Every structure is written in C-alpha cells, then in structure tokens.
A = this chain, B = another copy of it.
C-alpha cells in the first residue's frame, strides 16, 4: 500500500483496525509537521526536519503521504480541526452584550498568547496559498469557517445589544482578522502589551460594528 490519501476503497480484507492505525500515524506525523512548520515557517521546513521532530526517519513520510504538498495540505486541514471550535462556547454562555464582548476579547487575547506560533503558521500558509494554488481550497475552507465564527459572535452581540450590524460578515471578519494579525505581529516582536491592546480594540470594534460606539 502506498499513498494512503486516495486509497479509500482498498481491498475489503484489510481490517478496520489497520486502517485506523494508518490514520493515527498520519495524524502523528502531521503533528510533528505542524510543530516544525510553526517553528520554522513554510520556507524553511524540510521533510528531514519534520521527521526529526517525530520518532521516525524521513523515509516514512513518503509511505503515508504522496509528497510534500500532500503532507502539508493534510496538516492545514488538521490545523483547522483544532483551531476553530474554541470560541463557540463564548457565544453560548454570555447573556449580556458587554459580557459577550469581554469574553470574546479575552478569548482572542488568550489565543494570541497561547497559540501565537500556530497562528503565525496560519498566516504564512495563507500567504503561500496566494502563490501555490494547491493550498487554496483548504485555506478557503478554513477562512470560511473562521468567518462563520465571527458571524455568530457579531450576530449574537447585535441581538443582545438590540442593534443590527452595520456591515456585512465578510467585512467584519476582515476587520477582526486584521486586528488579530497586527496584534500577533507586535506580540511576536516582543511588545508586552500587545494582548491588552488587542483586547481593548476587539471590545471597541464590536461596538463600532453595531453602531454603539
């Protein structure tokens, strides 16, 4: 067996146990790849370096992935699964508009500090997708799911504050994404008050977006 990606319809005699084991190993290798990518960035990440961050040798990567692009797109999809779902309980628990704003802003600031390196990778890969069309579909999917997340936040905030949003969800996502990106840059450049600035900006922007500023 080789290039497991498109081998969905493999001979029936291969047990599900084996298939699960393969998928588990792919995840394991993808995690090592994500670790390496978030440390070095796309331009400086090699397959040998990825293998050194795992417990296997570099040859095994071509057993579980067709090529480097296949591995990295798998990583991008896996990244999405880990990343998006964190904000949805914020919108579920908050009962007033200011509380929602505070919790959302706090969640963003916490993400900035805790997962800054991962998001650095995200912006790197999104830039790469401007050049390498192979990544484009996965990047678009992640972007769409992030936009839906923002949409839920804004809609709930508008509902709680009794005012409809004054701009579309695309524009709202672009704004919050821009804020986060700028904060990430400052944070990684060593600015100690980047999280707090982000927090204040996010609270204010939620107000602006609903015309309550």
Contacts and interface: CB of A to CB of B under 8 A. Distances in A.
B182 A41 contact: no
Contact of A208 (B173, B185, B209): B209
A144 to B, nearest CB: 12
Contacts of A179: 171, 174-175, 178
Interface string A150-180: 0000000000000000111011011111110
Nearest to A197: B170
A185 B130 contact: yes
Q: How many copies are assembled?
A: 2
B43 A188 contact: no
Contacts of A62: none
Interface stretch (A2-10, A14-22, A118-126): A118-126
Interface of A: 40-44, 120, 123-124, 126-132, 136, 140, 143, 166-168, 170-171, 173-179, 181-182, 184-185, 188-189, 197, 201, 204-205, 208-209, 211, 213
